[in-house]
Chains A and B, each alone.
Chain A
Amino acid sequence: MTDANISDLTVLIVEDEPLIAMSLEDALLDQGVTCLGPAGSVAAALEMIEAGGFDIALLDVNLRGERVDAVADRLAVAGIPFIFTTGHGAEGLPDAHRARPVIGKPFRDLDITDALARHRPR
């Protein structure tokens, strides 16, 4: 179970598959988390980062065939923590961000909320 309270968080969801995005939203809304997105493309994600207003991001590594490296780079520069979600395993991660936390698909709701609690900004 998630010990830490994450209900004060606003999370950006970057995910191109609507069903998975909806499932993520459900898991987060149940915990009282505020959701932004989902951003389904690199361009949309960059736009939402530009607009800001979130604490942490969940980041699918591949958006409609496009690698998500640019989004990860931008988040890293902005100092915003993020967690990769992927069906590829660790080898699919952008090289510059291999040390970032990863959640494999399919995931449990608990995996998501635990990871958010662990990697949220202090």
Chain B
Amino acid sequence: MTRLLDPPAGTHVSDGTPADPKLPIPCRVLLLEDNGMDADLVREHLLMIDDHDFDVQRVDTRQSFIAAVTNGGPYDLILSDFDLPDFDGMSALAIARERLPRVPFIFVSGMLGEENAIEALKKGATDYVVKLRMERLQVVVRRALVEARDRNELADKRQALAESEARLRFALEAGRLGSWELTLADNRLRVSSICAANLGLSDPDELASYDRLLEHVHPEDRDYQQAMVRQAVSSGSPLDMEYRTVWSDGSVHWVQVRGRAVYDRDGTPTGLAGVSLNITDRKKAEERQLLLLEELNHRVKNTLAMVQSIAKQTLRAAPSVEAFPDAFQSRLRALAQAHDLLTRRQWQGASLSEIAALTLEPHVHAGRVKVGGPPVNLTTGVAVSLHLAFHELATNAAKYGALSAENGRVELDWEIAKPAQPPVRAGKDGHAGALVLRWRESGGPPVVMPTRRGFGSRLIERGLAHELEGDVALAFDPAGVRCRLVIPLSSRVSPQ
């Protein structure tokens, strides 16, 4: 065993069982005796006791006695004279009882009247021996030592039990575990305060019976709870159940209960005992996880449907089969970029400048595109749609428009327009004002009106206009493509 701390002085206790019966039991004796001859006599008599190896420390003053019981030892026995020049036996007894209550204390005295003897025994002396009958000392000491060992052993066991209980209670409290015990004969229940707290109760007495416990179980879980308890009693298998409890404020909480049947000597079940734990947080986390999984499933399916739609429409608009892969992959990558950004924002939306930068950042760096406008928050759906629209405009500009020529430029800017400023009208859901967003190309080759509307035009003119419930004007002006979006402000499109 690893000793981390020395045992405190004065509490030494022999363990009562000699390791080897042939070895003498060491025994330290504190002898309070002012007369050297008497002290020798006591030593001699002690040596006659078998199986013990006595180590006698003699003191003869009050001061040395107090020092010994305070700092000396540990002692197995105290022998004391009754009358001393500066001290008396009864005071020594009182000090010893206070400091070393477990150590047997025996008076060895020249004369000790009956009254003194009775008084001494009352005050806690173990026994007494008069010097005229010193041969009694062997018997008295031997008995006192045996009794002390037994007594100390019992006290040790009690203390160990108390410490073990304290440790158990500490562990239960540290783990927020409630404990409970059910007696089957009368359905009496005993619960700890944590166990009561798990059911929203401050007083454990409110759960004094199984029926009263059931009152606090969620009505939908009562049958299950009773069935589980019955099964644990009848089958002897461990009880492990989770049920809901309704607190007095109406709130619902989850409890996990584990336990096991208790049997008498005939094997008849007499009760159940176990622990309870509030698992509301865990249950909530599980529910959240389930919701997240459902949401993920929905999102994946929706994304697949979007990819399918992009594929179909890209194929429709592709001038040739050869042109399809590049156009499709480019759109797919744009969709993936939007997802990356939204994931970084925990799918809580994005700002308009972030979305604009996603597509246009390389061109801005090259000095070809200017982007500017006040801060605007977008929800995820609007962010994805606008990003795909910017991607279409930028791709078109790079292929045929301003970004295909050396000196071409693009300006993307936006502002918040007040509802009073025509032609802006108030948003449908009552929010005043609108986001007015302009894309203007210049310096590119002369723009030719496309013979048919491609995917990009459709996405912007039909999809975006519908989704944002706004007005969209896409113009193939010979001087440069222009696009103007007027989007009513709402919870989905809001200035910061």
Interchain CB contact under 8 A, A64 and B381: yes
Q: How far is the CA of A19 from the CA of B387 in the complex (A)?
A: 13
Cβ 8 A contact of B458, one of A22, A37, A105, A106: A22
A87-B307 Cα distance, complex, nearest whole Å: 14
Residues of A within 8 A of B304 (CB): 105-106
Neighbour of B309 across the interface among A23, A38, A87, CB < 8 A: A23
Say if the beta carbon of A40 comes within 8 Å of chain B. yes
Q: Establish whether residues B308 and A23, one from each chain, have CB atoms under 8 Å apart when the complex forms.
A: yes
Chain A CB within 8 A of B459 CB: yes
Q: Which A residues touch B123, using CB under 8 A?
A: none
Q: How large is the interface on B (under 10, 10 to 19, 20 to 34, 35 or more residues)?
A: 20 to 34
Q: Is the interface of B mostly helix, strand, loop or mixed?
A: helix
Is A44 in contact with chain B by the CB < 8 A criterion?
A: yes
A89 to nearest B CB, angstroms? 8
Q: Are the C-beta atoms of A106 and B305 separated by less than 8 Å?
A: yes
Q: Does B167 contact A (CB under 8 A)?
A: no
- With an 8 A cutoff between CB atoms, is B150 at the interface? no
For the complex, is B298 an interface residue (Cβ under 8 Å from A)?
Answer: yes
Q: Is A100 located at the chain interface by the 8 A CB criterion?
A: no
Q: Which of A12-45 contact B (CB under 8 A)?
A: 16-23, 26, 37-38, 40, 43-44
Contact B381 A19 (CB under 8 A): no
B285-317 contacts to A, CB under 8 A, are 294, 297-302, 304-310, 312-313, 316
Q: Report A60 CB to chain B, min CB distance, Å.
A: 9
Query: Which of chain B's residues have a CB closer than 8 A to the CB of A40?
Result: 466-467, 469
Tell me how far the C-beta of B184 lies from the nearest C-beta in chain A, rounded to whole angstroms.
42
Given contacts A23-B313, A64-B492, contact A18 B467 (CB under 8 A): yes
Q: A104 vs B305: C-alpha distance in the bound complex, in angstroms?
A: 10
User: Could you show 26 A-B contacts with beta carbons less than 8 Å apart?
Assistant: A16-B467, A17-B306, A18-B385, A18-B459, A18-B463, A18-B464, A19-B306, A19-B310, A19-B463, A21-B466, A22-B459, A22-B463, A23-B309, A38-B466, A40-B466, A40-B469, A43-B429, A62-B298, A87-B298, A87-B300, A87-B305, A92-B294, A105-B302, A105-B305, A106-B307, A106-B308
